[in-house]
Amino acid sequence: MAKEAGWPDMGEMLVCTIKTVKQNGAYVELDGYDGREGFIFIGEIASGWVKNIRSHVREGQRVVAKALKVRRDRKSIELSIKMVSEERRRDTLQRWKNEQRAGQLLRIVGERSGWDEEKIAEMKVHMTETYGTLYAAFEETAIDNEALSAEGYEGDWIALFIETAIENIIPDSVTIRAVADIQVHAAEGIEIIRSALVAVEGCASKESEVIITCFYDGAPEYRIELTAPDWEIAEVHWARIESAINDNVTDETGEAIITRE
C-alpha cells in the first residue's frame, strides 16, 4: 500500500501512548506525528484470546505498535502490538529515548547560542534530514569533531554542540585524524620517515582497542587516523604518537609538524 500523506509508513514500528481503552480495542496517540491517532483492535493487542483488555494495556501506558493501514475515515491508523517482537520493541523504544534525549540536548545548545524556538525547530529538522536522526548528529559529532563542518554547518554554536555531544553521548568509538608534515634533510631520510610511521602504528593497542593507521598523501604529508573506545583513551595514545614521531624526527635530522583535523 502506498504511504498516506502525513501518516507513518505501513509496517513502521511506532511508539504510542494509550489514550482510551474500550472493550473492543484501544485508542492511542502516535509519538512524532502531531495530532495523529491510532486504534488497536482487541485481536491485535496480544497473541491468543484476550479475555480482559485492561489486563494488557492501560491509559497512559507507552507501547510499541506496528502500523497496519490508515482507516477509511482517515482519522486514525490501525495498529498491532502482537506483531511486534520483544527485540523490535526494545530497539524501537531505545531509538525513541535517544531522540528524546537528543531533542533536550539540542535545546540546551540552542538556548546557550541564543536561538529562538523557531530556530531550534529548524535545526532539528535540518539535522534529522542530514543524519537520519537527531541523535545520529550528536553521536557522529562525539565520534568525529569535524562531522558538522564536513556537512557544511558553520557558526560559533558548533563548539557548543561538540562539547555537549562529547559530555552526553557515549559513542561506540571516537576518531582522531591528523596530517603529519614530515621533512627530513638527512641522507637516510626515507628510512627515518619509515621508522617514524612504523613507531606511530606501534602505538596501537589490542588491549585498549586502539587502532592506528598511517596513510601516504604524497610527500611530505602523511595522514594518521586513530580510533579508540573513548576520548580519554584516545588522547593518551595520541600523546604516544606525537612522542614516537618526535623521537624519530629530531631537530638534527629534520622537522615534523602535526596538525589535527
Domains (range + CATH), the chain: 13-84 (2.40.50.140), 88-168 (1.10.150.190), 174-260 (3.30.70.1130)
pLDDT by residue (tens digit) across 77-116? Answer: 999 999 999 888 988 998 999 999 999 999 999 999 999 9
pLDDT band at 2; cut points 50, 70, 90: very low
Give the contacts of 32 (CB within 8 A, at least 6 positions apart): 14, 15, 99
Q: Residues 9-34: what's their mean pLDDT?
A: 92
| Mean pLDDT to the nearest integer, 201-225 | 88
Q: Is the pLDDT of residue 124 over 90?
A: yes
Q: For residue 200, name the pLDDT band (cuts at 50, 70, 90).
A: very high
Report the C-alpha gap between 249 and 91 in whole angstroms.
Answer: 50
Tens-digit pLDDT profile for residues 152-199: 999 999 999 999 998 898 767 888 888 889 888 877 878 888 899 999
Which of 128-132, 177-181, 198-202, 216-220 is least confident?
A: 216-220
Instruction: Tell me the pLDDT band of 1, cut-offs 50, 70 and 90.
Output: very low
Q: Is the pLDDT of residue 45 over 50?
A: yes
Q: Is residue 160 a contact partner of residue 244, using CB atoms and an 8 Å limit?
A: no
Mean model confidence pLDDT for the chain: 89
pTM: 0.60
Percent of the chain at pLDDT exceeding 70: 96
Residue 32 to residue 5: CA distance in whole angstroms? 14
Above 70 in pLDDT, residue 257?
yes
Sign for the pseudo-dihedral over CA of 221, 223, 224, 230:
positive
31: cell is 509519538
Q: Look at strands 221-228 and 211-218 and give their pairing.
A: antiparallel
